[in-house]
Amino acid sequence: MTIKSLTTSFGCVVIAALMLHTTDAHSQSTAAEVRVKAAIVHKIAKFVTWPESRFVADDAPLRVCVQGDAQVLDAFLALQDRPIRGRLLSVNPAPEPSTAAAACDVLYLTDDEHHSAGEWLDAVAGHPVLTFAEAGGFAGDGSIVSMAIRRDKVRFSINLKANENSQLRIGAQLLQLAAAVGTPGHAP
Amino acid sequence: MTAETSPKCMLLRRLLPCVLAVPLSMLCLSGALAEEFTGSDDLTDLSLDELLSTEITTLSRKSESLGTAPAAVHVISQSDIRRSGARSIPELLRLVPGMQVAQIDGNKWAVTARGANGRFANKLLVLMDGRTLYNPMLSGVQWDSQDTDIAAIERIEVIRGPGATMWGSNAVNGIVNIITKHAADTTGGNVGVSGGMAGYETTVRYGAEAGDSAFRFFGKVFDRDGNVSMSGEDTDDYSEMLRFGGRYDWDGAEDTNFTLSFETYTGESGEYRISRSIVPPYETLEDTYTDISGGFLMATWSHDFSRDSGLKINAYYDAHERDVPTYTEDSDTFDLDIQHSFSAGENHSLIWGVSYRKSSDDTTDSFVISIVPASDERDRISAFIQDEVRLLDGRARLIFGSKFEHNELSDDDIEIEPSARLSFAVTDDQTLWASVSRAVRLPSRGERGGRVTTAIVPPGQPDFPLPVPTVVRIVGNPDMLSENILASEVGYRLRNRSFVLDAAVFYNQFSDLRSLSQGIPTCAPGGGILQLDPTCLFTSTHVEQPLFIENNDSYDAMGAELWVSKQVRENWRLQGGYTYFRTTGAGSGSMLRLGVVEDSPDHQLSLRSSIDINDNLEFDVMLRWIDELEAQQVDSYTSMDLRFAWSPTPSLSIAAVGRNLLAGDHLEFKSELVDLAPIQVEPEGFLELRWSF
């Protein structure tokens, strides 16, 4: 086999390859993306300690409130009854902001034109509620954990400032896995 | 070819025409790595590390349960890296089941998989972000110059067995791909300081992100002490290195990414060298050092046309310089690599690529080592294509393809390196796989044109009764051919919520292997043939005994690798590994039979325990038992690494690390070039402080 025949056969490959190109763009938020994010929320929650006073009983569930469309809620329902530190997860759609602080231990917010994520975050500020939102979304960096897609993979950042008054303890191991740990308004 | 091997050859022969004639396809094995984690439908079975490395588009394309990678693949995750307490890449590779890693002295290592280990282990290809770390001068990776900011490594993917179809020559027994973090994943400041019984190390990093762009810079400096000689005296095999580097990432709209990275380093590797001369005392031991410097600049551009197709262009320039007391080397490499992946229909994922590499070098010689010609410049042109076919509704997949490579280091016109890999998902969490592949190991510059003095026999020895000293030299062969491997592998993988079992067995047939043949002794200077005219001794200062490099050896290597990982409790993980390796049929000129040479242990055992005592305390233990090296006459040993880490605040961690414990001062490996005196590795302990801001 000579270099020339090699070059020729690769020329053919180039043409074949270019002809086979499809041009559909990546869809915005796929089911797969939400599934991965839900699984990550579960893993992150394992590294967080809530104050004991938060729970009425030793076996009281850890309440995960999800604000998002049916696809998002579906993905989170896969977490239903999963154990975390001796408690089972209970997944529910997020209630009104005014009751969220009392009803949710974990609050997952997606960007949605009908709701203001900032309103939720304000409502639960100072309460032991672990908040998740899209990085750069309506919630901005106001949530404790923000998630983003970069190069096709999910990345999360932790905002220690947002966690300051929440009484939540975040395990050091988790901070090691975060893409960034920082405070809002300041490039971490 | 024996009767026993013919079915494999038949398969290969049948496969070859297909690969050559039809521009078919594949999903690359590296894609397969990202996918490895998606074998189970239930994502909550995956660890956080695994979830963070799951590629979403890959997942959505093949969201149904799919067989996992049809290769012996292992991934060192970020947690593995942190919890290991390792400060160098070879130490990290000890975490991989099946890898054979031995420390030669304070800065030199022998690292490979599946046999023929050595300081110049030439059958393992190592890449960092796609840039080759393999040195074509004497073959192998010179680990004393290969390093980076360890905390900025995202993961290390290791494939045991040939990877030549995608990565080309020298990916014979395995391929290691070190992948560093995206710059946006290392924003903020990070300072790591460690110090202890055997030196100190400081790494400072700063990164920031603005809009679509992110960058980081790091500086690293270390100074590690030497170890001890066989008689227990301190030796000067120290290591000091200053390294500076950076990375810039831009993630543009429409799935276009651009990365620019660079590193530059300078340092010294001390060594306890055997110094040779033709005057008494002929051989002496002395503390010397090698000056090392180098760097690289690399740019990568990639664009995804759609969920299933993308183009990636990677170019780099790499330069390094080594000043050994007996030899200097100045090398430059330019490499351009283009890869394109796309889908054809429902069931085919193809990837193909072309690459060009220009290498040049300049050496100076001495009595001990010389390379002819002293300067060289050569091109390498290669292309590959691989198709991944989805079969049985996704339960099985077939990956096949070939590399075609033209390299001026090999006399063969074109090297063809095909492979076929098949995996089958027996159940949702069990996979069986098998593969057949061919790969080549190119001759090194040293093997083609080198003259290396490996011994000086003093006059008047009982079995060498000459009045003058005899100089034993390995003499290179300008017509040396590539070494060949035909590898067959079978593997089984079980992966569920709390248990992973990964087993592989392999049978490798090597041919055209490097061998040595004893030449006719001559008088020097003068060149008279000793046996014909012994009187030439009266006018000579010494006798030259050449050992000619040839391609006359062949042997079969076989082995088994087993790894189990059990999540005993939510906060406690146990991992165990066993590796078996043996060779049969090595010829009389075989490097395996020539005293101090490349060598691998028959058995290796490892046990690793990782416990999270609470949110802020981590405790890790790793135990290794390494069998004796028969040819090298190195005893078996058991050694232990420990790490206890405490994070008093989220941004601060303090770790106490112990390395090479239990075994005391022990010999792990001897340099096969017989240029260094054997060194015993010492146990050590150090404290590490890491602060992020």
Q: B548, B516 in Cβ contact below 8 A?
A: yes
| Residue A57 belongs to some domain of the structure | yes
Question: Is B304 in Cβ contact with A180 (below 8 Å)?
Answer: no
**Res. B269 pLDDT band, cuts 50 70 90:** very high
Say how far apart CA B628 and CA B632 lie, in whole Å.
9
**Res. B2 pLDDT band, cuts 50 70 90:** very low
Rg for chain A (alpha carbons), in Å?
A: 21
Q: What is the pLDDT of residue B363?
A: 95
Q: What is the pLDDT of residue B219?
A: 98
Say how far apart CA B121 and CA B138 lie, in whole Å.
10
Give the mean model confidence (pLDDT) for residues B638-642: 97
- 3-class secondary-structure state, position B557: strand
| Residue A23 belongs to some domain of the structure | no
Question: Is A21 in Cβ contact with B305 (below 8 Å)?
Answer: yes
Question: Is B306 in Cβ contact with A22 (below 8 Å)?
Answer: yes
Q: Chain A partners of B342 at a C-beta cutoff of 8 Å?
A: 17, 20-22
- Asked if residue B525 has a cis previous peptide bond (ω within 30° of 0), the answer is yes
Q: B289, B169 in Cβ contact below 8 A?
A: no
Q: What is the pLDDT of residue A139?
A: 52
Nearest CB among B47, B56, B616 relative to A32 is that of B56
Does A31 touch chain B if contact means CB atoms closer than 8 Å? yes
Under DSSP, the state recorded for B141 is: -
Domains plus CATH for chain B? 3-692 (2.40.170.20)
Indicate if the pLDDT at residue B59 is higher than 80. Answer: no
Question: Is A40 in Cβ contact with B305 (below 8 Å)?
Answer: no
By C-alpha distance, the chain A residue nearest B416 is A1
ipTM > 0.95 for the complex = no
Q: B72, B561 in Cβ contact below 8 A?
A: yes
Token pair for B11 = 């398969």
Token pair for B429 = 């969490």
Please tell me the total number of residues recorded for chain B in this structure: 693
Question: Is B307 in Cβ contact with A24 (below 8 Å)?
Answer: yes
Which residues in chain A come in under a pLDDT of 70? 1-29, 112-115, 136-141, 180-188
Nearest CB among B20, B43, B651 relative to A35 is that of B43
Q: B544, B531 in Cβ contact below 8 A?
A: no
A contact residues 126-145, partner B, Cβ 8 Å cutoff? none
| Residue A130 belongs to some domain of the structure | yes
Q: Which residues contact B281 (CB under 8 A, 6 or more apart)?
A: none
Say how far apart CA B675 and CA B662 lie, in whole Å.
29
Q: Chain A partners of B185 at a C-beta cutoff of 8 Å?
A: 155, 179-180
Domain of residue A98, residue span: 28-182
| Residue A21 belongs to some domain of the structure | no
Does A59 touch chain B if contact means CB atoms closer than 8 Å? no
Q: Chain B partners of A141 at a C-beta cutoff of 8 Å?
A: none
Indicate if the pLDDT at residue B15 is higher than 80. Answer: no
How confident is the model over B417-440, as pLDDT tens digits?
999 999 998 887 889 999 999 999
Q: Chain B partners of A44 at a C-beta cutoff of 8 Å?
A: 48
**Percentage above 70 pLDDT, chain B:** 90
Question: Is A35 in Cβ contact with B187 (below 8 Å)?
Answer: no
Tell me how many domains chain A contains.
Answer: 1
Q: Is A151 exposed, middle or buried (0-12, 13-18, 19+ CB in 10 A)?
A: middle
Q: Chain B partners of A154 at a C-beta cutoff of 8 Å?
A: 51-52, 54, 56
Does A182 touch chain B if contact means CB atoms closer than 8 Å? yes
Question: Is A176 in Cβ contact with B79 (below 8 Å)?
Answer: yes
Within 13 Å of residue B643, how many CA atoms lie on the same side as its CB?
24
Token pair for B667 = 């010999």
Residue identified by tokens 């066989």 is B230
Q: What is the pLDDT of residue B226?
A: 94
Does A118 touch chain B if contact means CB atoms closer than 8 Å? no
**Res. B153 pLDDT band, cuts 50 70 90:** very high
Nearest CB among A6, A35, A85 relative to B414 is that of A6
Which one, of B648, B641, B652, B575, lies nearest residue B608 by Cα? B575
Does A183 touch chain B if contact means CB atoms closer than 8 Å? no
Under DSSP, the state recorded for B366 is: -
Q: What is the pLDDT of residue B244?
A: 98
By C-alpha distance, the chain A residue nearest B24 is A13
Give the DSSP letter string of B376-428. EEEEEEEEEEEEEEEEGGGTEEEEEEEEEEEETTSSSS-EEEEEEEEEEEEET
Q: Chain B partners of A79 at a C-beta cutoff of 8 Å?
A: 44
Q: Chain A partners of B59 at a C-beta cutoff of 8 Å?
A: 32, 35-36
Say how far apart CA B536 and CA B529 lie, in whole Å.
8
Say how far apart CA B590 and CA B597 lie, in whole Å.
10
Say how far apart CA B386 and CA B130 lie, in whole Å.
18
Q: What is the pLDDT of residue A147?
A: 86
Q: What is the pLDDT of residue A113?
A: 58
By C-alpha distance, the chain B residue nearest A169 is B615
| Residue A1 belongs to some domain of the structure | no
Indicate if the pLDDT at residue B563 is higher than 50. Answer: yes
Token pair for B78 = 């970020």
Question: Is A16 in Cβ contact with B188 (below 8 Å)?
Answer: no
By C-alpha distance, the chain B residue nearest A42 is B44
Element (H, E) at A173: helix A172-177
CA distance B652 to chain A (A): 9
Average pLDDT of the residues of chain B: 86
CATH code at position A119: 3.40.50.2300
Interface A–B counts its CB contacts (< 8 A) at 174
Which one, of B355, B388, B310, lies nearest residue B28 by Cα? B388
- 3-class secondary-structure state, position A62: strand
Say how far apart CA B102 and CA B87 lie, in whole Å.
15
Q: Chain B partners of A176 at a C-beta cutoff of 8 Å?
A: 78-79, 82, 653
Q: Among B18, B24, B40, B48, pick the best mutation site for testing chain A contact (most A Cβ within 10 A).
A: B48
Say how far apart CA A83 and CA B95 lie, in whole Å.
30
By C-alpha distance, the chain B residue nearest A183 is B693
Q: Chain B partners of A10 at a C-beta cutoff of 8 Å?
A: 352, 354, 383
Nearest CB among A22, A85, A181 relative to B650 is that of A181
CA distance A98 to chain B (A): 31
Lowest mean pLDDT among B208-212, B289-293, B436-440: B208-212
| Residue A7 belongs to some domain of the structure | no
Q: Chain A partners of B412 at a C-beta cutoff of 8 Å?
A: none
Question: Is A1 in Cβ contact with B54 (below 8 Å)?
Answer: no
Give the mean model confidence (pLDDT) for residues B480-487: 94
Give the mean model confidence (pLDDT) for residues B526-541: 86
Q: Chain A partners of B58 at a C-beta cutoff of 8 Å?
A: 152
Question: Is B208 in Cβ contact with A13 (below 8 Å)?
Answer: no
Indicate if the pLDDT at residue B277 is higher than 60. Answer: yes
By C-alpha distance, the chain B residue nearest A17 is B342
Indicate if the pLDDT at residue B90 is higher than 70. Answer: yes
Nearest CB among B55, B381, B416 relative to A152 is that of B55
Indicate if the pLDDT at residue B647 is higher than 70. Answer: yes
Does A13 touch chain B if contact means CB atoms closer than 8 Å? yes
Strands of B600-681, DSSP E: 603-614, 617-626, 637-649, 652-661, 666-667, 679-681
Q: B580, B559 in Cβ contact below 8 A?
A: yes
| Residue A114 belongs to some domain of the structure | yes
Q: What is the pLDDT of residue A163?
A: 79
Question: Is A154 in Cβ contact with B306 (below 8 Å)?
Answer: no
Q: Among A20, A80, A88, pick the best mutation site for testing chain B contact (most B Cβ within 10 A).
A: A20
| Residue A48 belongs to some domain of the structure | yes
Question: Is A181 in Cβ contact with B692 (below 8 Å)?
Answer: yes
Question: Is B55 in Cβ contact with A13 (below 8 Å)?
Answer: no
Does A162 touch chain B if contact means CB atoms closer than 8 Å? no
Question: Is B57 in Cβ contact with A155 (below 8 Å)?
Answer: no
Enter the pTM of the model.
0.83
Give the mean model confidence (pLDDT) for residues B354-373: 92
Q: Which residues contact B6 (CB under 8 A, 6 or more apart)?
A: none
How confident is the model over B293-323, as pLDDT tens digits?
999 999 999 998 877 788 999 999 999 999 9
Within 13 Å of residue B177, how many CA atoms lie on the same side as its CB?
19
The pairs formed by B310-315 with CB atoms below 8 angstroms and a separation of 24 or more are: B310/B255, B310/B340, B310/B341, B310/B342, B311/B338, B311/B339, B311/B340, B312/B338, B312/B339, B312/B340, B313/B337, B313/B338, B313/B339, B314/B130, B314/B338, B314/B339
Rounded to a whole number of angstroms, the distance between the first and last alpha carbons of chain A is 56
Q: Among B382, B412, B615, B619, pick the best mutation site for testing chain A contact (most A Cβ within 10 A).
A: B615
Question: Is A2 in Cβ contact with B44 (below 8 Å)?
Answer: no
Q: What is the pLDDT of residue B65?
A: 35
How confident is the model over B164-201, as pLDDT tens digits?
888 899 999 999 999 999 998 898 899 999 999 889 99
Give the mean model confidence (pLDDT) for residues B622-630: 94
Lowest mean pLDDT among B91-100, B184-193, B389-398, B487-496: B389-398
Say how far apart CA B309 and CA B344 lie, in whole Å.
10
Residue identified by tokens 């590390």 is B49
Say how far apart CA B193 and CA B652 lie, in whole Å.
12
CA distance A153 to chain B (A): 5
Question: Is A188 in Cβ contact with B187 (below 8 Å)?
Answer: yes
By C-alpha distance, the chain A residue nearest B44 is A39
Which residue type occupies B188? G
